[in-house]
Structure 1
Amino acid sequence: MSDASPVVSLPFPGVIGDEADCRIPAPPSVKLFAPTRLVRVLHVINGEHFSGAERVQDLLAGYLPECGYEVAFACVKPGRFPEARKFRNAALYPVPMRSRLDFSCGRKLASLIRDEQFSIIHAHTPRSLMVADQAARLAKVPLVYHVHSPAGRDSTRWFRNMANAWLERHAAHRASRLIAVSPSVRRYMIEQGFLASHVICVPNGVPTIEVRPRNSTPKTWTLGMSALFRPRKGIEVLLEALKLVRQGGNDVRLRAIGPFETPAYEAEVRALVARLGIGEAITWTGFVTNIASELAQIDALVLPSLFGEGLPMVVLEAMAAGVPVLASDVEGVPEAIVDREDGLLVQPGDAASLAAAIDELTSGLVDYPTLSRNAHARHADRFSAEAMASNVAAVYDQVLGR
C-alpha cells in the first residue's frame, strides 16, 4: 500500500523534521475566523485522566471556534477531565460505558447527535471509537478518529494492547479520516492497513508559555519529569540514572510532576526510591493543572519513555517554555527534539546512557542557553496550538466537502 503524502490543503505546515508523509505546504498567510454559525462537533473521549491526549482535547475546544467549529464533549469514562479542563464553555455530556460491550452508549450518542445537531463525531481512544463508530452509523454523520499513540504499544499489558489494537482496526476503517499526531503514528496506522490518503498528520500543538530567561548554565540543577506515571513512561530508568549521577558527586534533584496511574504502581516506584536511597532528592507534586508554573521551577525536562509515544505534549510544553529536554529516542519524540540542537536523545531503558547525558548537560559540555533558545524557537515554528486547531479544522472541512 502506498505511503504517498495525502492530498490535503492544510493552512499551517503539518511537517515534522524531513518526513515527506507530513510535508504539507502552507500559503503565505492564514487568518483564523469565527463565522456567525459554528459547525458543531462532538468529541467522544474517555475522560478518566487529564494527561497529554486530554490536554489536546481541551485545547481543541478552546481554539477550534476561531476556525469555525464548536466542540462539545461526551465522556464515556468520566473522571478527572470534567473538572481539570481549562475551556469550560464547551458543553460536556457524561455518557458512561458500563463495559467495553455497552452498546447502549452508542445509541445514546446517536440520539445526542440528532438532538443537538452535531455534524461530525470525533473519537480519541479505542474505547470511545467503538461507540462513536456505532453512533456515526446510526445518526448518519461522518466519523473522525484521532490517533494519539500506537494502540498496540500503549502499555505493558499485552492482552490490553491486542484488544485495543483489534478494536481500533475494526472500527477506524469506517472513519472518514484518521488524524495522526506524528509521522511515526501515521506510518504505524498505514502499516495496520489503513489507506495512506485517509491518514492525515496533524502535529500536536501547545500555547505559547511565558519564557524565563535561561541565559546561563544553572549552578544547581533541578530536573523535572511530568507524566501520568505508568510503566511505559520509564521513571524507574530515571531513578536509577539519578542514583548514578548523585553517586558521582553531582547534586542533581528531581521534581516528579503528575499522578500515578494506579496506587499499586505508585507503591512499586516508592519502594524503588527507598531501595536506591534517593528519596531526599525527589519532590513529588501529584496532579497539577498549571504546567507553566511547574516548568518555571525546573532546569531541564526528562522523558525516559520505553515505548508508546505519539508526540508528547509535555515535550512541546517544555519547548514552548524554553526548557531543554532529555528524552528517549522512541517513536514520536525525535520528531519534536533534534538531538544536540534543542535537547538530548538517549537510548530507551539505558540508565547509564541517561546518567551520562545528565552529567553532560549539567557539567556545561552542552551549551544550555543555546538549547533553551532553540527549543523555544522550534515550538513557535512548528508546534503552536493555533496551527494544530487550524489543521484539524481543515480535516473537518475536507470531510464535510466545504
Structure 2
Amino acid sequence: MRIAFVHRRGGDDEAVLGQAAALGRAGHDVHLVAADADDLRRTPGYATARRTVTVTTGHGGDPVAALRALRPDVVHVHHVSADPGRSWVADWTGPLVATLHDHHPPCASAGLHRDGRYGGSRGARLPLAWASRGGTADDPLLRRADRLIVLSETSRARYTRAGVAPERLALVPHFVPDGTRGAMRPEPVWVYAGRLAQEQGITELLRRWPAGQRLDVFGGGPRERECRAAAPDSVTFRGVVEHAGLVRRLGRYQGLVLPGRFDDGLPLVYSEALAAGLPVLAFDGSPTARTVRAEGTGTVASWDASLPAALRAASLVFPTLRAHCRARYEETYGETQWVTGTERLYAAVVRAGAREFA
C-alpha cells in the first residue's frame, strides 16, 4: 500500500517518524510530506526512518500538489497548523485519516499543548483561537477525515462529547520501540521522567516526598528551581538525558511515579515503562490512573492519603507485576500491534471510500 504521512514539525516528531518507519518495515511504500522537512532532519530517529521512508517538502502548508504527484492509497495526517493549514483537506478526494495528537477538541490551549509541552504568549494564542472558534463542527480536518485516530479512551470520550460521531473515532495508541536489554535486577529507587512543570504535578509530589525514599528525577522545565527547593535530600535530579539512554535505564528502578493531575492523554513514558517491565504509581484524577487500574499495571494513590503509605504498599506488590507489565506492552503497545491495527484501519477506509483522485 502507498501511504502518505502529512506532518509539520510538532511535539510528536519522533513518534511520527517511528510510525512511518514501522510501516516501511512492514513492506508499505511510505512517503512523508513535511512542511519543514529540513527541521525534521535534526529530529532523533530521522536517520532510521529515512531508510524506509521518502521525505518530500510540501511548501506553504498545502501538500495537495505533492499528494497528487504521489497518488497514495491513503493519506494519514498528523500535525498541521490551523487554517489555512487545514483547509487543503477539502481539496483532497482520496481516503484520509488523521491522528489527533492533541488531547482536546480544537481550542486555543489545545493547540499549544502537546506531550506535556506548554508555551506561547496571549498574542501567539489569538490566531489559533480565531481559527478554532467554531469548535469541531468548523474544523476542516475533523469534518473531512474518513476516520480519526485517538490515543486514549479519555481523548475518545472528549471528542465524542464535543460532537464527533463515535463511529468515526478509532483508538490506536502510539507504540514505543522495545528499548530493553533483558531482565534487570531493580534497585530500591523510584523514578520520575517528564517535564518539570505545573501540569505534571511534580512540585506537589516533591513537597510530599518522604525523606527516606530515593527518587531519580529526569527532565527539565520552568518549575525546576521550585522542584529543587521542595525536594528532600533523597531526591536526585538527573537533568535532561538522551531518550534512548533513559529508556534503557527504566528496568533498573522499582517503579515509575506519574503524578500528573491534568486530564490529558497517556504519556509515552507509561508505555516505555511497561516495555521495561516497570510498574507505575499514578494518582487519582488522570487518564494514567484510569489506565493503570484497567490494565493492572501498578497502583493508584490518592492525593488526600499518606504518600509514604502508598509507596510502601506499591513496593510490596510491584515485584509481582513486572512480568504482567511486560506482557501488557507486548499485547498493546508494541510495534507489531500498532502496525496491525493501522493496516486494518487503512484497509477499511480504502474499501469504504472508493473516491476518485482529484
TM-score range, shorter chain: 0.7 to 0.9
Alignment of structure 1 residues 19-58 onto 2, 5 Å: 38-47=1-10, 49=11, 53-58=12-17
Q: Quote the residue 1:72 is aligned against.
A: 32
Q: Quote the residue 2:256 is aligned against.
A: 301
**Higher RCO (CA-CA < 8 Å; seq separation 6+):** 1
Distance 2:340 2:331 in 1: 15
Q: Quote the residue 1:63 is aligned against.
A: 22
State the shift of 1:59 in Å: 2.5
Q: Quote the residue 1:317 is aligned against.
A: 272
SS at match of 1:184: helix
After superposing the two structures, state which structure 1 stretch, 221-230 or 276-285, moved more: 276-285
Q: Quote the residue 2:356 is aligned against.
A: none
Q: Quote the residue 1:19 is aligned against.
A: none
Maintained 8 Å contact 2:104/2:159:
no
User: Partner amino acid for 1:120?
Assistant: V
CA 204–70 in structure 1, closer or farther in 2 if over 3 Å, else same = same
SS at match of 1:337: helix
Alignment of structure 1 residues 167-316 onto 2, 5 Å: 169=136, 170-171=139-140, 172-210=142-180, 212-213=182-183, 218=187, 221-242=188-209, 245-246=210-211, 250-256=212-218, 258-260=219-221, 265=222, 268-274=223-229, 276=230, 278=232, 281-290=235-244, 291-316=246-271
Distance 1:327 1:44 in 2: 32
1:321-369 deviation line (CA, Å, top 9, x unaligned): 101111234453245423794211134xx3865454224334xxx2232
Report the TM-score, using the length of structure 2 for normalisation: 0.78
Maintained 8 Å contact 1:253/1:281:
yes
After superposing the two structures, state which structure 1 stretch, 318-327 or 70-79, moved more: 70-79
Maintained 8 Å contact 1:326/1:343:
yes
Asked if 1:346 corresponds to 2:301, the answer is yes
Unaligned runs of 5+ in 1: 1-37, 97-103
Q: Quote the residue 1:386 is aligned against.
A: 336
Distance 2:38 2:208 in 1: 36
After superposing the two structures, state which structure 1 stretch, 159-168 or 135-144, moved more: 159-168
User: Partner amino acid for 1:241?
Assistant: R
Unaligned runs of 5+ in 2: 353-358
Maintained 8 Å contact 2:31/2:56:
no
Q: Quote the residue 1:401 is aligned against.
A: 351
SS at match of 2:321: helix
State the shift of 1:185 in Å: 1.4
Q: Quote the residue 2:282 is aligned against.
A: 327
Maintained 8 Å contact 1:299/1:323:
yes
The count of corresponding residues between Structure 1 and Structure 2 is 330
State the shift of 1:271 in Å: 3.3
Maintained 8 Å contact 1:241/1:351:
no
CA 223–43 in structure 1, closer or farther in 2 if over 3 Å, else same = farther
After superposing the two structures, state which structure 1 stretch, 190-199 or 129-138, moved more: 129-138
1:67-112 deviation line (CA, Å, top 9, x unaligned): 635141415597577421242332344558xxxxxxx422xx1222
Asked if 1:124 corresponds to 2:104, the answer is no
SS at match of 2:225: helix
Match of 2:94 among 124, 141, 144: 141
Report the TM-score, using the length of structure 1 for normalisation: 0.70
Distance 1:342 1:255 in 2: 21
The RMSD of aligned alpha carbons is: 3.4
1:87-146 deviation line (CA, Å, top 9, x unaligned): 2332344558xxxxxxx422xx12222233344332334x44655632332343333221
Q: Quote the residue 1:358 is aligned against.
A: 311
State the shift of 1:299 in Å: 2.7
SS at match of 1:148: coil
Maintained 8 Å contact 2:184/2:252:
no
Q: Quote the residue 1:99 is aligned against.
A: none
State the shift of 1:205 in Å: 2.4
Match of 1:115 among 69, 82, 94: 69
State the shift of 1:148 in Å: 3.1
User: Partner amino acid for 2:78?
Assistant: H
State the shift of 1:165 in Å: 6.2
Maintained 8 Å contact 2:298/2:318:
no
Match of 2:61 among 105, 110, 120: 105
State the shift of 1:251 in Å: 3.8
SS at match of 1:284: strand
Distance 2:301 2:261 in 1: 11
SS at match of 2:3: strand
User: Partner amino acid for 1:298?
Assistant: Y
Q: Quote the residue 1:150 is aligned against.
A: 103
Maintained 8 Å contact 2:3/2:29:
yes
CA 352–130 in structure 1, closer or farther in 2 if over 3 Å, else same = farther
Distance 1:396 1:129 in 2: 25
Distance 1:343 1:394 in 2: 31
After superposing the two structures, state which structure 1 stretch, 389-398 or 278-287, moved more: 278-287
Distance 1:236 1:77 in 2: 37
Maintained 8 Å contact 1:214/1:369:
no
SS at match of 2:292: coil
